A and B are shown apart, each in its own frame.
Chain A
Amino acid sequence: MSLFVDAVGFGIASGAVIALGAVGFTVQFGISNVLNITYGALMTLAAYLGLVLVGWHLSVWLALVVVAVVIGGISVAFNRALVSPLVQRGASPFGLIVVTVAAGIVLQYVVTAIAGPQAQTYGEQGNSSIGVLGMTFSVAQVTIIAITVVVMLALHLLLTRTQLGRAMRATASNRTLARSCGIATDRVSDLAWLLSGMLCGAAGVALAITVVSFDFTLGATFLIPMIAAAVLGGVGQPYGAMLGGLVVGLVTQITGALWDPSYQDVVALGVLIVMLLVRPRGLFGAAWSARRLLA
């Protein structure tokens, strides 16, 4: 039983990281309507940028914030330089996905060429632990969970309580209509890529902290649980991705503890496939996402 409780604790911790990543992935998709597979490689880049900053004796948490800002900028630049011009030229959705896959591979190998293929680490983040309801968390895990909760709350407030958030939601549900209502949809799109990049950067560093040892495949591997979480919640829906992240984190960790750790990602895929077969529009099945995903 204690094994199970521990696994739940780990599930919540890893779910927090997955949720950070999945929300970033889904927010950008919801608004720009482009599936960005480069996201995984950007996460790898974030982890290695964090490594540089940690090498300069910055604290990992400061590094997380700095990297989030930097990756946010890179994400906007990526959209402006590559994705958005291609969309304007009328590239097909598949063409775009191939471009983001290719860009991800280029980025991943640039990182490998510079940093080398060997495994890297930020070092252990203290060994004091905190017990909650029989579950044991390291201080780093608790901090990451706290960061995730704060970021999610901030995102919720942004989306529901501000003019900007309303503009974002309007753009996501109907871009043309939003534009004819006077919303600067290109500006909103930039902002979505910025937000997505920042979450991606934060998730990349947080992931590197939690897994301790990582290499250049970090982001590509993490894409599976992240996409599973995003699909579980319905791609394009931030709240769905939050919940999806938690569910995927819990399910994978519990499987890992009770069955076989090497099957964690397989379970994430199981979740993905079942969702696609049964409810391709996500658990909540909002009407607009149905319109977007089903041809």
Chain B
Amino acid sequence: MGAAGYYATVLLVYLGTDLLAAWGMNLEFGVAGVANLAYIVVIAAGAYTYAVFALPRATANGGFQQYILGLHQSFAVSVLAAAVVGALAGILIGLTGLKRLRQDYQAMVMLVVSLIAATVIGADTGFLNGDIGLSLIPNPFANLAPTTASWAYVALVALACLVGLVVMRRFTTGPLGRTLRAMRDDEHAVAAAGHSVVNLRLVVQAVGGAFGGVSGALLVAFIGGWSPGAWAYAETLAILTAVIVGGMGNTAGVSAGAFVVYLLLLQGVQFLPQFAAHPGLSEDLGWMVLGGLTIAFIWLRPQGIFPERRPRLGIARFATAGAPPPREEAGLGGAAAPPGP
């Protein structure tokens, strides 16, 4: 297969896994208003889970890397396990958010959780091979010809995205979607209407975690390696930027955001000319532009390129006529929100 064809499959797989991650993040933050700056941890949990489920025992490859389990399970079982562990990790992270702490304080705690998770995994060499990370993670199509295998994998990721989209609709639309959006806009109102905010938050983080877990598993089965360097806390910002740029709460918008951030920005910079004196300068540039983009959007257009569409029911017109603008507690705020204290 030509290099261009191979590169195309790589980009498509990346795009698919990034879409799943961005949808999960959008469900948590964009739809339900649950700020999770440790989202990359659930992706990492999924990736590691897939690895230790799919890999044979640590001693099988001459013991050059050490890890727990090594169950040598099939692809389907391993991905399923990754989804479950991702959901559990999401719930665990969600539990730290249950303390009635201020929103920014919670965000800080999650950021620290993210930093610490990478430190712990990196420090413990017996658990998941420490900072060096895992390699030789099995690809389900390893016994096919390279071209066929790559395109088969693209098809598999596309299928996963399709399933993901159907599942995601279940949570972003209909009564449940409306309840979650209401929780984002006014938690107390939802509680007063008889919903358990705690349960809703945990459900959202479990589902978001499962999406992250599958995203990590699909990515790691394709690239074959995974180490703490791959899930620095900055990666969460990349997903968050995709959500913010695309339009929080709008699945289609967020998909466009993931396309812009991952394919145009983080992959696109690799086509810039390389400077011999500064290896890695183009990646640095990608991150600089990414950070700048986040700030620019929060400043200029917090609703994103494709803003969430408000439901257009006849009754809604009467309900909102003359009413004050919704509080933007969970959103990123903007000119509409009253100045904070």
Contact residues of A with B, CB < 8 Å? 33-35, 37, 82, 85-99, 101-106, 109-110, 112-113, 116-117, 175-176, 220-221, 223-224, 227-228, 235, 260, 262-263, 265-266, 269, 272-273, 276-277, 280, 292-295
Contact = CB atoms under 8 A, between A and B. Distances in A.
Q: Is the interface of B mostly helix, strand, loop or mixed?
A: helix
Q: Is the interface of A mostly helix, strand, loop or mixed?
A: helix
Contacts of A89: 299, 333-335, 339
Contacts of B274: none
Contact of B112 (A87, A103, A227, A277): A227
B339 A294 contact: no
Contacts of B340: 87, 90, 92-93
Given A113-B278, A266-B120, A272-B112, A86 B102 contact: no
Interface of B: 35, 37, 96, 99-105, 107-109, 111-113, 115-116, 119-120, 122-123, 233-234, 237, 240-241, 244, 278-281, 284-285, 287-288, 290-292, 294-295, 298-299, 302, 328-341
A289 to B, nearest CB: 11
Given A97-B104, A99-B298, A90 B337 contact: yes
23 contacts: A37-B108, A88-B339, A89-B335, A91-B334, A94-B35, A94-B104, A94-B107, A97-B107, A98-B107, A101-B37, A106-B292, A109-B284, A117-B279, A176-B341, A221-B115, A260-B123, A262-B123, A266-B119, A272-B109, A273-B96, A280-B99, A280-B101, A295-B100
A96 B288 contact: no
B319 to A, nearest CB: 23
Contacts of B333: 89-92, 95
Contacts of B99: 276-277, 280
Given A88-B339, A105-B287, A98 B103 contact: no
A102 B295 CA distance: 7
B111 A98 contact: no
B112 A269 contact: yes
Nearest to A113: B284
Given A99-B295, A269-B112, A93 B280 contact: no
A102 B294 contact: yes
Given A92-B331, A95-B298, A95-B333, A220 B123 contact: no
Given A87-B340, A266-B116, A98 B105 contact: no
B102 A292 contact: yes
Most buried by B among A34, A103, A221, A276: A276
B146 to A, nearest CB: 33
Complex A-B, nearest 5 residue pairs according to Cβ-Cβ distance, in ascending order: A262-B123, A95-B332, A93-B104, A106-B291, A90-B337
